[in-house]
Structure 1
């Protein structure tokens, strides 16, 4: 059954484009509460590397879905969907505007559209065989198997995340369908009266901002933050596949030098920003706003607020 078409504001865009500050200023104008649409900001103790908003930056705006999981726990788009839809209702029932802000496209998409997450079949015997192959041949060999049958899933799942690699292979083995097939092809009807705002920026400017952000994270204590997780034995988990964490784990493991870890972190962050933009442009009908400096921030807030007011007939 389709939900009542509540008014919903969604702000998306690549990492480092300026979503946080803009969302706070808009939230004050719209009497909004913000739902994090970031798959890694849900984890406790992962603040610097995920660019999690601080209490001061929140400026009194209530935020949801931050620090709700421990780093050794899994999380999924299905769980995000099941959590966020009631939250939207709750916020709207209080007379406030629900606003989703983040860069994890699949998570946000799963809420906006009528995606059905059904249980996919499993084959314990096949899974056991893959787990033995993992022990004998290593994680990269298993990942290469996935690349052959489902290159899209392979591009999104890090080779170290062997649990998810094996699950994707198991799904293909049981159904002859890719993981993405269970989402692709479903009805593309928006469940909400959605003002879907995308922030973009000149690529070179964005890449420079990403490099500067990484350097700032290091100064703020990123290495120490990741070291605490490493020393607490948090390994082979979904959380540690996050950019900013997996690179430093390789450094702590002695696989690469410190400088290589930081350079790789910058490179992976730039590549991730490119993938984010590609996803949003291909998967959703977004109203784009260019944040390339020099811009007048207050004028941009006014412009986006005017768009939302027109969309929602405020």
Structure 2
């Protein structure tokens, strides 16, 4: 059995998961695409040292910021952790929809690592030519990729040139055979926006500016991760392009936009059981749902 806790950023996933994990005496598996990287702590809302001592957390701080951690690597590591925790239902917690989908749907992911040299050569040809090639070697994939989407076009061509097979023939789903309960946290947009604003200011108070300055000094300002949410805005401030107040406002705005996309993603999956983040009895309601789900599994078996 697997329990998923998902939802938009700042919806309270981590706090709820921490309380549930202690009741269940189980582990938490992170489903956050930035928390896998070391030293990116405050801006990714990574669980504190104290929280990680209360409950074992996995797939956090597992690679260097300069590494390219792929979805395929995440899937393998998460699946292994779930298998090892067969007796106690682990909690898969996060807001990276593709990470969660890779587990709950058992996505078939081509095991082809990024090919920097090949990509650099392909990029020089221009997106128009690249997409034209893709339509020739993998028309099915091309139909699902927008002509201007260079990232997905490059990936499809990369897989084709490395394996000799179209990426469309290597994709699909192979759902796991264990039962999965998916818990989603959501609420009124105004409340989620309020939470985002509060958390952004808390990150500043915790030392986000200092963290970004350190990361720039250590890895250089061209590090791709420094162009992600929260870090990019503070990097602009440190470069003297905008004021700190403007950086904070931009972070709040961009986080709200990101949260909207997350909500749209998760709402597309009817199997998710939704709970209101403002409900005072949230923990007990979710706990009751877990008990009911567990009992239904026992009856079936």
Pairwise TM-score range, normalised by the shorter structure: 0.7 to 0.9
Residue 219 (structure 2) pairs with residue 233 (structure 1): yes
Q: Could you list the per-position Cα deviations for residues 30-61 of structure 1 after superposition, in whole angstroms to 9, with x for gaps in the alignment?
A: 22111001111111111111111113234621
- Are the aligned partners of 1:24 and 1:59 in contact in 2 as well (CA < 8 Å)? no
Residue 301 (structure 2) pairs with residue 309 (structure 1): no
> What SS does the aligned partner of 2:91 have?
strand
> What SS does the aligned partner of 1:32 have?
coil
Q: 1:168 — aligned with what?
A: 152
Q: 1:276 aligns with which of 262, 285, 291?
A: 262
The Cα of 1:255 is off from its aligned counterpart by 3.4
Residue 60 (structure 2) pairs with residue 66 (structure 1): yes
Measured in 2, the distance between the counterparts of 1:306 and 1:58 equals 25
RMSD: 3.1
TM-score, normalised to structure 2's length? 0.80
Residue 100 (structure 2) pairs with residue 108 (structure 1): yes
Relative to 1, partners in 2 of residues 1:75 and 1:237: Cα closer, same or farther, differing over 3 Å? farther
Relative to 1, partners in 2 of residues 1:299 and 1:172: Cα closer, same or farther, differing over 3 Å? closer
The Cα of 1:226 is off from its aligned counterpart by 0.9
Q: 2:135 — aligned with what?
A: none
Measured in 1, the distance between the counterparts of 2:271 and 2:246 equals 38
- Are the aligned partners of 2:275 and 2:282 in contact in 1 as well (CA < 8 Å)? no
Relative to 1, partners in 2 of residues 1:301 and 1:126: Cα closer, same or farther, differing over 3 Å? closer
- Are the aligned partners of 2:184 and 2:274 in contact in 1 as well (CA < 8 Å)? yes
Q: Could you list the per-position Cα deviations for residues 107-144 of structure 1 after superposition, in whole angstroms to 9, with x for gaps in the alignment?
A: 1101122311125698967742625879xxxxxxxxxx
Measured in 1, the distance between the counterparts of 2:38 and 2:74 equals 16
Q: 1:130 — aligned with what?
A: 123
Q: 2:88 — aligned with what?
A: 96
Residue 278 (structure 2) pairs with residue 286 (structure 1): no
Relative to 1, partners in 2 of residues 1:267 and 1:73: Cα closer, same or farther, differing over 3 Å? same
Relative to 1, partners in 2 of residues 1:130 and 1:187: Cα closer, same or farther, differing over 3 Å? closer
Any residues of structure 2 matched to 1:193-208 within 5 Å, and which? 193-208=179-194
Q: Could you list the per-position Cα deviations for residues 158-192 of structure 1 after superposition, in whole angstroms to 9, with x for gaps in the alignment?
A: xxxxxxx5x534245677xxxxx859972374543
- Are the aligned partners of 2:108 and 2:171 in contact in 1 as well (CA < 8 Å)? no
Structure 1: segments with no counterpart, 5+ residues: 1-6, 135-148, 155-164, 176-180
Q: 1:83 — aligned with what?
A: 77
Any residues of structure 2 matched to 1:13-24 within 5 Å, and which? 13-24=7-18
- Are the aligned partners of 1:112 and 1:191 in contact in 2 as well (CA < 8 Å)? no
Measured in 2, the distance between the counterparts of 1:241 and 1:250 equals 10
Relative to 1, partners in 2 of residues 1:266 and 1:77: Cα closer, same or farther, differing over 3 Å? same
Relative to 1, partners in 2 of residues 1:55 and 1:233: Cα closer, same or farther, differing over 3 Å? closer
Measured in 2, the distance between the counterparts of 1:77 and 1:55 equals 26
For this pair of structures, how many residues does the alignment match?
275
Measured in 1, the distance between the counterparts of 2:119 and 2:64 equals 30
Q: Could you list the per-position Cα deviations for residues 199-231 of structure 1 after superposition, in whole angstroms to 9, with x for gaps in the alignment?
A: 111111010110111001101101111110011
Relative to 1, partners in 2 of residues 1:216 and 1:153: Cα closer, same or farther, differing over 3 Å? farther
**Which deviates more, 194-203 or 181-190?**
181-190
Structure 2: segments with no counterpart, 5+ residues: 128-143, 161-166
Q: Could you list the per-position Cα deviations for residues 236-259 of structure 1 after superposition, in whole angstroms to 9, with x for gaps in the alignment?
A: 444223311112122223333322
Measured in 1, the distance between the counterparts of 2:170 and 2:259 equals 22
> What SS does the aligned partner of 1:48 have?
coil
Relative to 1, partners in 2 of residues 1:308 and 1:54: Cα closer, same or farther, differing over 3 Å? farther
- Are the aligned partners of 1:71 and 1:240 in contact in 2 as well (CA < 8 Å)? no
